Every structure is written in C-alpha cells, then in structure tokens.
Amino acid sequence: MEVPVGLPSRKDSSALGAAAALPSESQPTPAKPVQVTVLEAQNLKSIKSDASVTLVRVEYNGAVLGDSCQTQVLPDGTANYNFTTSFECSPSGPNSLDSIVQNLVLLTVIEVHKEKKQKEKTVPLGQAVVDLLPLLQGQCSFKVLAPLYAVPASPLESVQLEAKGGLEVTVCTEEPLLSATQLSEGNLLSVTLEAAYSVPEAFAAAGPLQNFMACLQVPAAGEKEFPLLFMNGILKPAGEKEPLPRPKKWPLANIMAPGALSIPNSFIVGGPYEDEDGELNKREDMEFRIQAESTKRVVWDVERRCYLDPAAVVILQKRIAECRYWPVEVCRVSVGSPSKGKTSKADKGDEDKQISFHGVAYVNMVPLLCPGVKQIRGAFRVFAYHSSEVFEKTKSQHSVFRDLRKLSLSKEGLWTPGIGSPLSSAVHSKIQKEDKITKDTTRRMSNLLKIPLPDAIAETENVTSLSLDGQQYIEAETFLVMEIKLDKALVPKRSREELTSRVSQMIPPRPPLPARTEGAKKAVEYYHNHVTSIAVAILSEYHELFGKQLPDWGAIDPQTLQEQKRQLNLELNRSGKYFAFKEQLKYAVVKIVREKYLKTTAFETQEQLQAFLSELYVYLVDQMHVALNQLLFEEAAPPAPPPRVTEDQLWLFAREAEVNKDYKLAALYHQQRVAQDQCNIQYRLDYGIFCLLLEERMKAQECFREALSLDPHHVQSLLLCGIVAVMLQHCEEAEIFFEDACCLEPSNVVAWTLSGLFYELQDNNIQAEMAFREAKKLLQAQLAEERSIPEAVEGEGGEKPISAADVKSPSPSPEERSPEGVPNGSADKLPETAEHAQDCTAPKEEATAPEAAPKAEEPPAEQVHPRFQSSTSQDGQPAAPSPGSGLSQPPCTIFMKTVEFLMKVNAVQFVHRALAHELLNLQGGPSCAYYLTLAQTYLLKEDFSKCEECLCEAININYLNPNVWAQKGHLCYQKGNFHEAKECYERAIGFVEDAADMHFIYLHLGSIYLEEKEYGQAKQTYLLACKNSASCLTWLGVGIACYRLEEMVEAEDALSEANALNNTNAEVWGYLALICLQGGREREAEQCYKYSVKLGLRNDALLREIRAAQQRLGFGDPAL
C-alpha cells in the first residue's frame, strides 16, 4: 500500500503509530509470523492464451516478500507454484494489527519470456489481492481463491474489470493474533467515502492535473489522532448518475490491474434519503439531491479500515460523547507535471498555492452511541475551513492538509492522480524507493503535529486564499456522501426473545365464566326473582297483622284463614302496596311477552288477544308456583367465585390510572386492595402514598396511622407518619415518629437522614448534625461491606479488563461546557439550590438545577422497601425510578439515598431540601441522579423548560443511563412531541439494562406507534408489556393493533383478555363491538355497543367508526 509523503508510514512511525494505540504498548507483545502460501493459479490461458512460463510475486505493506520459482503453465491453464513466504506481525514493528486491517497481500503473476542470447524479459500478466481480516476475527488459518485480474499491456488497451482466473492461497499463523480480550472488546472501524456532489464550478476537468483528497481523523489513545486519508478522487462531468449498487474500492495505489481494486462482496447500495443519518434527508431536500447527483461530482468509492483495540474503543466512545461532530476535511491539490532538473525559486514561491479549496464537513457521530447502532450513512454539507470554527465544533486543533502543505509534498512527487486508471511501470518501480522517503517525512510529520493551537489559529492569516476557495463550497451547496461503520456496536442492545405470533398462546389460562342466562330464559328468571321478592314482602305484611304462626300451634281452620286473607287484601289496597306490587311485576311480565312469546306488535283481532292472554295467564301462574316452591325449599347459595384479579394487578391498575390522571379510578383500585386484605400494611401505605400525590394529607395521615396500628414497630410506617406530621406542622408528633424509627432500626440510613432534615427545620442544628453524622457513618460501613465482596472475588479471578460500557462522559470544566439548550452566560450563575440550602426555614422551598456545575458520579439505586415502587408521579412514570444505570457502582451519599425514598412516597417537599444538601456536600459537582431527580420534580409541576435543562445535564454526564432517556421520553410525550418521545423510548428499551419504568415506556411507545399507524411495531411493543406486566391497557393495545392489521381472531382474544381484567373499560367494549360487526354477529355487536355507551365511551373517533359501521351494515344499534 502506498504511503504518501508527509503522512507517517505504518512501518516506521513512532508518533502516530503510538497515537493509534493499536495495540496498547503497555505490555510488549512478541512478534507472530504470518505465513502466506500460493498453491496454484487457475485459468491463466483465459488471460493470455500463449502464456507458457510464469512466476508469482508476493508483496505486503510496500515490501516484496519474495518470488516463486518459474513454473510451466499446463494446457488446462493451471500453474502449480506451492510457494511459501511470511512476514512478522508485532505491535511495535512495521506490520502491526492495524496494518493487518489496512493492507492487503498483493499477488502478481508475471510471465517470463526466454529468448536466445538475450536477457529474460518479464511482463505482468495478472494481479490478485488477499484480505487478511479473518486473522483479526479469531481465525488462525484460512484458504481463499483470490480472483485474478488481467494487467493491461498498455495504457491504450481497454480496461477489463471482470476476473479471468484465480489464485489459490492459504494464510496461517501459529497462534491467534488477538487475545480473547482483544477479540471480544476490540472493534473494527470502516469509513467509506462515496462522492462529493454539487462541487464548485471552478473544478474543471481541463487544465493541470488535480488530486481531490479527503481526510477523517480517528481519535486514538491519549490526545492523539490517527488520520484516514482518501486520495485520488475522480472528477466526473455532469451526466448520468452513479450506478447502484456499485462496488467499493480498496485504498491502493500500486495496483496495475484496475479490476483488483474492487472489494469482493462489498457494494454501495444507496437507499431512501429519509432513512439516512446525515443532513439533506428531508422531503424538501429530495429534489436538490436528485439534481446534484446528476451534475459534476468527485467520486472516490473507497473504503478505509482501522482496528481499534479495547483501549481505543473506550477513547472513541468518550470522544464521541465529548464532541458530537467529527471534521472531515476536503481539498484539491494541483499536481504539476514532473520535470527534470532543480527546482527554481519561483517554483518554491508557488508551493503554498498547491493546496486549494480547503473545506470541512461536520459528521454527527452521536447516533453511534445509540444501543445496537453500528453504522451511520448520509450526506454532509461542506463548509469553508476555518480553524476557529472547527475547534469550536469539534475540539480538533490540527488540519492534516495544512501540515501537508508545509511539507511541499508536490515537490516530492507523491500526489498520484487517477487511482482508477492503470499505473505505469514507472509508478510501479517507484514503490522500491518508498521506504527511504517515508522515514524522512515521518520524522518531520511527527514534529509538525506538535504545533500548539494558537500557532494553528495564527496560520489562518497566511491561508486567506484557501478560505476564499473554500467559500465556494457553501455557494455551490457541496455535500459529501459517506458511511462510517463499526463491526460491533459501541453500546450493546438487548437481545429480545422472539414473541409468539399467536396472541392466544400468551393469554394465561382462566376458569370459565359462570353461565349467564340470556333471552327468554333470562326473562323467566327475572320474573321468578320479582315473584319471590313480592312473596317475601306480602309474608312480612301478614306477620305484622297476625303475627308468626308457630308449627306446634297446629293448622288454622279455613274460616279463620279466609278472614285473614280478606283483611290482608284490605290492608294492601288501603296502603297502596297492592298497586306497587302489581307495577313491580308488570315489567317482568312485559319481558316474558317480548322474549318468550316474541310479541312486539299489536294483535289483529280481539279473539287473538283473548287466546294469548289465556295462554299467558296459565304460564305465569305455573311459573309463579315454581318460584314460590323455590322460596319455600330454598337451597344453599353457591360460594362466591374467587376474584379474577390479584392484589398486585390491582396495584398495577392503580398506577395506570394515576398515569392517565384518572384519580377517581386509581382511588377505587387502592380501596379494593385494602378491602381484600385489611391486615396488609403495604396496601394501606400505598393508598396513603397515593393520597400524598393528590396532596390529601389528612387522608394520607389516616392511612399511615391505620398501617401503624397493625404493626407499631413498622419503620416505614413511622417514617411516613413523621413526614405527614411535618407537612401538617405537627412537629411534636413528627419528632416522636422519627425518634421511634431510629430506635427501632438504628442501622437505617434514611431514618437518620430524615431526622436530621427535621431537626434542621426546627433550627436544632446540634441534633441535625448528630443525625447526619450517624447516617454517614452507617452508609460508609455499608459501602465498605459491599465493596469487600467484589474485591475478594476480583482478587481470586484477576483484574477485570477495560470495557467500553464502563466509561461515562468525562466531567468538563465549567469553561468548556456549554450544552445545547442552555443560554449563554449561565455558567456565571450560582446554583439556586445552594442558595436555598443556606437559609432553608420551611419545607416549601425548592431546589433549582444548577445550569453549569461540574459533574460527579451518580449513586447506585437502593430500594428501601421492596414494595415502595407503587407510587407514580403525574407524568406517568414511577415517582422514583432508579437513578443509576447499573453500568457502574459509583459512590453514594446519604441525601441521594433519602431522595430515592422520598420520591417513591411522593414527599416532594423533603426532596428539595435533601437535594440542596446534596449540592452543598458534593465536591465534584452534581451527579446524574441529582439532575434526574430534579427533572422529575419539575415535571410534576409541569415546568418543562427547567426539566429539559436538567435532563440535558444528566445526558451529558451519563448518556448510557436508560432512566434518563425514559424520563426525556416522558417529558416529550407530555409536551406532545411524539416524534422525539418515540426516539427516546426506543433508545431506552434498546439498552441491555431495563429502565425503572418499562411498563409505561411500552404503553407510551405503543400508543405512539398506533397514532403513526405502525401497527406491527405497536403489536410487538404491547406484547412485550403484556409479557412483563399484563393489564387491561396492554391487552387493549394488542387488540387494537391486531384489529388494524385485520387479525380478527387474535384481536378478539386480546380484547377478551382485557375485558376479563377490567370489564368497565368502555374502549374495550367499543372495539369488541367493531369485531362483532365485522363478523356479522348482530346480537353481540348490539350488546357490546350498549355497554360501551353505558360506560361512557369518550373516544369520539372510535364512536364515529362504530356508528359508520352500523350504518353500513344495517345492524348493531337498537335505534336502527
């Protein structure tokens, strides 16, 4: 591979070779030999029919490894070489691991002509390349049939890009080149530069030779960077578009067979503009993109690769988090025709004019930090290169091209144009001299890269012409199309197991519903019930008039019985009860006439009416006797069926009702939990916590005290009673509760911290200080005990290797940080929380997010009580999701542990006071958990702007925390920005570790998918929610998605399960009505519609859809 002068060779560079840190130089690694064996050539006759004697030359990294013996070509076109050569791979040598990635083994088949009394004449016949990448994928040996491409005999000969033959090659090593750690945690970066479109008009095909170049600097270990250089872009005139798909090309300059430049099985396939990650991907940009791709352009289609060892992966991830934009420099270099003799002074004066049209494109690399994302591809606008602007956006201090311009590379003949054209033998012979040039220029380049930033900025005064040329990129609206790809995602994505396609298989088995009577049978049963109730009422009237007749009194004589009957009739008529009983029975008789006899119209004749009345009378008397016999010989009632929902499901339903701000329904669910088990302390605490959310403090106090009455030694109940007492300003009671909690559980950090906050409210600084000191002592002991266990395990198993997942964004200084969305000058403001903490005298004060404070590590999440996650905040997520992402275990503070507890119990007033202490006590600055909690409090008050600022700070500290992305999704969802909410939710569920409120993430994301008519995605999302925590709303979402996908059977199964969990949801009945309408089930459709209306269906769109279907089908509505 040709190495341009001015850029360090991979063989001799000590500056940039170390910068790449590929591999790490901390421990020297012995060299490992790589053996290359060329077995035979095939189909040589297809390249040249009269080829007789050939040999094969093996080259690697610009050095000739050796030539095989001259071999006779057999009649079938094969030549058996069996030639073996090797080179050594070592981190400190010329052939490092990065060299294995970038360089190819070049095989040249050379024809040997032997003539009498003359020197042997050699002519290149064909070339093939072998990619050594499998050696970095864990393989120790591999065998390939490398395509053999013909070398044109002269530049005038037409270029043949298809392979004519092949070389059978084996490559092997004695041991793997990568260790297990390097293989699992290393990565491979590939950058493909496709083309520059809409280039300036000054790019003319005529005139002096021109070399179009681009360079992307890849961050490496330390503060250094490694450049990936793209040379020899081909300027193409306006005309047809570039074909798709088209092959990618190797970045080689010493290839004589143009066909060998194409990378096998690697193509540029393009795609819709809307799916790209860069700029110019909106609908309004489509017309411009289509026109630009047919105009004058510069084409590279080259892919360059770089190996990243585990340490370099960590640095790469940190750099992307620090600077979201990476600069891609472009320029044009005028290449003068080579001439003999010395360079004149005039030529030396023109050296600075060799580089022109210096521009830069800014590539947003942040998508690579999304879980599971391995590549970005898109169009990126090109701007004029200004050092100050580049440094401001990318923190890049050096321009590779300006360093090259200082070296006057054009004078050394290294700008080699026309990579797509065959190279002459002179170019081929120049490779032999490459090592000498490279060593010299490497030394000079390493010194040049040490230019400090002020010098680099000052140099812009000398390159005004470059800026003016670069301005033409903006006027022409030039853009680069490129792709950046990783072998493995920087942030791993969770692997979801496949969900079953049949919804019915996910529904848990349930006992059959009790049989219900319908139609005529139900009408008769209704009549029996009324007869029974009237008979009981008449019997009670009889007992009031004549008293109860005991069995041992004997039978009543008929005359007395007749007299009692007459008096009873008289009393019933006099009191009006007889008329009331008759009216009560009338509706039951009407139902029997309609349901049993199906009589709904008037009779035609009087005789028909009399006959029907006679028949009806006989039937009613018979059924009356049946009802009276059942009353006199009543059987024991069957036991009540067990409840169809558990207490945990009721708790989940209550949370969902809180999310939807249906607090009346949520209160009902909490009351049902308490009624089902009145001795359960946690149910009463959950109800009280819900009352705190509604600021119903008296009711919350009642719940907490009832829980305390069940167990006077329950610490959480004591703490909650104390918190409510403080809110109600019952300070003496609060002190008793907090003291009892600390005495009952002296090791409870939260109890001591709450006691300290309470004493601080009372201006009892001595007691407060003592309580805080005790809490800190307990926490330090707990953390020391927790650390002792993993340290012991680590001591046995060895040191854990560095992982990219263990890295967070570093803590920039206040001068460096200016996050998006934060107004300028905010760094000069004092954090309001600290000001409040200085003179906090009441629990109503609030802590405000510091807008430019340095960052610190976040504390790990800890549950005070396993069931204290039952409360949610008004925005729809649990009131206290676990702040830590679980990716690391940073130090914890007593105040953040207390904040976690307080958020779970909706004690927001105490939260602000604890956060104020957290801010004052942190030496490194607020943590991610601090900003996340503060954002939740702002979201409770619907202060969206401050909430967004806090979340931006939290993301800057730890972009791998799924809880932060979930919280941002809730914010966008509540603001109505569903597109951004969907992106945040998708990122949150993409992490390997779950966020604290996955249930509501699934619910919100599923509703967004339904709104955007992505029904397949909605179905899968709701099924995930059903699998984790099924509820009426999750199955309703599955049912709606299946209905829209016209999967009627699965839709009915899902809606039936939703109805079994909650038969009072009007929307479930509405969709069941639609399914029955589509299935032609008239009676069920009408019944479901009646229930949906009766339960108050508020979805106007669904109601219109039902009525339209009823009008179209002609049934389903009783009014039709």
Handedness of CA 486, 488, 490, 493 (dihedral sign): positive
What is the per-residue DSSP string for 766-825?
A: HHHHHHHHHHHHHHHHHHHHHHHHHHHHHHHH-PPPP-GGG-------TTT---TTSPTT
Least confident of 768-777, 838-847, 1056-1065: 838-847
Does residue 415 have a pLDDT over 90? no
- The yes-or-no verdict on residue 827 having pLDDT over 60 is no
The pLDDT value given to residue 1054:
94
pLDDT surpasses 50 at 421: no
Q: Is the pLDDT of residue 381 over 60?
A: yes
| pLDDT per residue as tens digits for the range 909-941 | 888 888 888 888 776 678 888 899 999 988 888
In terms of Cβ atoms closer than 10 Å to its own Cβ (0-12, 13-18, 19+), residue 913 is buried
Block residue for tokens 């139900």: 522
Range with top average pLDDT, 409-413, 632-636, 852-856: 632-636
Of 158-172, 345-359, 841-855, give the lowest mean pLDDT range: 841-855
User: Rounded to the nearest 5°, which phi and psi values hold at 111?
Assistant: -85, 135
Q: Are 1047 and 1021 in contact (CB under 8 A)?
A: no
Rg of the chain on CA atoms, in Å: 41
Residue 492: strand, helix, or coil? coil
Report whether pLDDT(889) > 80: no
Number of Cβ within 10 Å of residue 53's Cβ equals 15
**Rounded to an integer, what distance in angstroms lies between the CA atom of residue 953 and that of residue 806?**
19
pLDDT of amino acid 435? 40
CB distance 926 to 811 below 8 Å: no
**CA distances for 681 relative to 649, 727, 813, 901, angstroms:** 17, 22, 49, 17
Task: Convert the pLDDT of each residue in 863-882 to its tens digit.
Answer: 333 333 333 333 333 333 33
Q: Binning pLDDT at 50, 70 and 90, where does residue 527 land?
A: confident
* pLDDT over threshold 80, residue 217: yes
Quickly count: other Cβ atoms within 10 Å of residue 590's Cβ: 12
Distance CA 980, CA 998 (A): 18
pLDDT value at residue 965: 93
Q: What is the pLDDT of residue 514?
A: 61
Contact predicate 170/142, CB 8 Å: yes
Grade residue 449 by pLDDT with cuts at 50, 70 and 90: very low
Peptide bond into 245 cis (omega under 30): yes
The confidence score (pLDDT) of residue 480 equals 94
Helices (H), 839-882: none
In whole angstroms, what is the distance from residue 669 CA to residue 655 CA?
9
Residue 777 has pLDDT above 70, yes or no: yes
High-pLDDT (> 90) share of the chain, %: 31
User: What pLDDT score was predicted for residue 451?
Assistant: 38
User: 299 by DSSP, 3-state: which?
Assistant: strand
Per mean pLDDT, which range of 22-31, 286-295, 560-569, 736-745 is the poorest? 22-31
Average pLDDT over residues 26-45: 82
What is the per-residue pLDDT for 500?
53
Give the amino acid at 866: P
The pLDDT, as a whole number, for residue 851 is: 35
3-class DSSP assignment, residue 229: strand
pLDDT in tens, 90-117: 877 788 888 888 889 999 999 888 766 6
Q: What angle do the packed helices 1015-1029 and 1032-1044 form, to 10 degrees?
A: 160
Highest mean pLDDT among 451-455, 584-588, 1041-1045: 1041-1045
Q: Who wins on pLDDT, 208 or 533?
A: 533
Reported as a pLDDT band with limits 50, 70 and 90, residue 309 is confident
pLDDT of residue 646: 83
Counting every residue written for the chain, the total comes to: 1120
In 338-388, beta strands by DSSP E: 355-364, 375-384
Unique residue bearing structure tokens 């607020």: 926
Q: What is the pLDDT of residues 710-724, one digit of tens each?
A: 999 999 999 999 999
Out of 483-497, 750-764, 820-834, least confident range: 820-834
Q: Compute φ and ψ for 275, nearest 5 degrees.
A: -90, 0
pLDDT the model gives residue 26: 43
Q: What is the pLDDT of residues 1097-1119, one digit of tens each?
A: 989 999 999 999 998 888 887 76
Cα separation, 268 vs 286, in Å, equals 19
Q: Give the pLDDT confidence score for residue 45 in this predicted structure.
A: 81
pTM above threshold 0.75: no
pLDDT number for residue 723 = 94
Please say if the pLDDT value at position 433 is more than 60. no
- How far is Cα 992 from Cα 981, in angstroms, rounded to an integer? 20
List of residues 6+ apart from 541 with CB closer than 8 A? 568, 571, 572, 577
Average pLDDT of span 672-697: 91
d(CA 844, CA 855): 27
**What string of H, E and C letters represents the secondary structure of 100-159?**
HHHCEEEEEEEEEECCCCCCCEEEEEEEEEEECHHHHHCCCEEEEEEEEEECCCCCCCCC
The count of C-alpha atoms lying within 13 angstroms of the C-alpha of 645, restricted to the half-sphere facing its C-beta, is 22
